[in-house]
Homo-oligomer: A and B are copies of this chain.
Amino acid sequence: MHADKPIAESTVRRLSLYLRVLEQARERGVETISSDALADEGGTTSAQVRKDLSFFGSFGTRGRGYAVADLVAELRRILGLGREWRVYIVGAGKIGAALSTYQGFVQRGFTVLGIYDNDPRVVGTTVEGQVVRDFGTLAADARRDEPDIAVLAVPGEAAQHVAEQVVAAGIDAILNFAPVALHLAPNVTVRSVNMALELEGLAYAIVHRDPVTTAA
């Protein structure tokens, strides 16, 4: 039994990671796994694994560990992966096109219903097997398709405006790939993936790396 208290984002991210580790373990025929083994694979600690899971219930057996198949099922349920998620991709550039067929999405139950662009030279062309739709028709289409999530793969300058249009169309969950912070109503859930920013973090780490470890 799990009380719905607010769970840290970092915890949810780790749960996704555990799920992936467990699925791989299951493919290898592993039936039972300890928090220790799960932690090793997931790059964290056993205490962290147990704490993360404890927010949602008691899924293990003392002295034994976790039944892999059961824990997979629990995590899928907790993460909300038991249903199809309907996704619009906005921006038919290289990133948007790549995302539209990304297996990591498809395999987890995320279905791309439409891919949008506002460039008349792109609208109507076929990208990864889907005809690119006109961004101007998104609101009307959304009434029919009832998408749950919009993935924004547009330039930074356009992102805020596009996001507002998407929200106006009734979509209140956005995965943002543009390198800017979006300012939207608090009932809209936004998660951002900022690739350039991660690369810069890497540059920072290299530059400020402890010289001791760099010794020849």
Residues of A within 8 A of B (CB): 4, 7, 9, 12-13, 15-17, 20, 41-43, 78-81, 85, 87, 94-95, 97-99, 101-102, 104-105, 107-108, 110, 128, 148-149, 151, 156, 173-175, 179-183, 186-187, 189, 191-209, 213-214
Choose from B7, B95, B199 the contact partner of A98 (Cβ within 8 Å): B95
Do B205 and A201 have beta carbons less than 8 Å apart?
no
CA separation between A85 and B95, bound complex, in Å?
A: 22
Bound together, the chains give a CA A208 to CA B81 distance in angstroms of 12
B17, A199: Cβ atoms under 8 Å? no
The answer to whether A189 and B175 touch across the interface, beta carbons within 8 angstroms, is no
Could you jot down 14 A-B contacts, CB within 8 Å? A16-B196, A17-B197, A80-B203, A85-B203, A94-B97, A95-B98, A95-B102, A99-B195, A102-B196, A149-B202, A173-B206, A186-B213, A187-B214, A189-B206
Report the minimum CB–CB distance from A88 to chain B (whole Å).
13
Q: Nearest Cβ in chain B — how far from A195, in angstroms?
A: 6
Give min CB distance, A100 to chain B, whole Å: 9
The residue of chain B having its C-beta at the shortest distance from the C-beta of A181 within the complex is B43
